[in-house]
Structure 1
Amino acid sequence: MDKQGSKVSRHVFKICKKYLTHVQNSVFEGELTKAQLARLRSELNRWIRKDVDSVIIFKNRNKNWLDKEFMGQDLTDLTSNIF
């Protein structure tokens, strides 16, 4: 990764950590209001290089449809803000 890429990664990580729970590597999860999601997107847009970087936001419209299955290390404590 180039120097600019490292700088981008650090800033994206810090921004995501402000709003979400860090689960592993570059994976974050959490429940956001529409306003929080808009702020997150706005902050990320300052750093994401559209030709090189990518961020994927998964949305779940119904909490009852979300099932989490863990294999290996139990990360329940880290992921408890998603029901």
Structure 2
Amino acid sequence: MYVLIVYDVGEKRVQKVLKFLRKYLNWIQNSVFEGHVTDAQLLKIKNGLKSLTDQEEDSIIFFIARSDKWIKKEIMGVEKNSTDNFI
């Protein structure tokens, strides 16, 4: 499945969340990750983020699609981290 994760977390937790998500997904912009994961990986991501974040203060949004072919991505301005070169 294809996942897009957008997060807004407290300043003290930003680096931990960034480092954690880089294990599973591609960083595309500040506080935004995307990529293909399995159901098991998505569960690990959700559990990991739950332990790293404060449910009372932080916000994480998951956009989940069965395939990236259903999502059209357009970039306006500078592309922060190109993922076009992945095999």
| TM-score category, normalised to shorter length | 0.7 to 0.9
The alpha-carbon distance between structure 1 residues 63 and 22, as it changes in their structure 2 partners (threshold 3 A), is closer
RMSD: 2.0
Structure having the larger proportion of residues in helix: 1
The alpha-carbon distance between structure 1 residues 49 and 43, as it changes in their structure 2 partners (threshold 3 A), is same
TM-score, length of structure 1 as denominator length: 0.77
* Larger RCO: 1 or 2 (CA < 8 Å, sep 6+): 2
Aligned to 2:57: 52
The alpha-carbon distance between structure 1 residues 47 and 72, as it changes in their structure 2 partners (threshold 3 A), is same
Paired amino acid for 1:40: I
- Give the greater-gyration-radius structure (CA): 1
Structure 2 unmatched ranges of 5 or more: 1-9
How many residues matched? 76
> Equivalent of 1:23, from 28, 41, 49?
28
The whole-number CA distance in structure 2 between the counterparts of 1:24 and 1:73 is: 10
Structure 1 stretches of at least 4 aligned residues deviating more than 2 Å after TM superposition: 61-64, 77-81
Structure having the larger proportion of residues in strand: 2
Aligned to 1:8: 13
TM-score, length of structure 2 as denominator length: 0.74
The whole-number CA distance in structure 1 between the counterparts of 2:21 and 2:49 is: 8
Q: What percent of counterpart residues are identical? A: 41
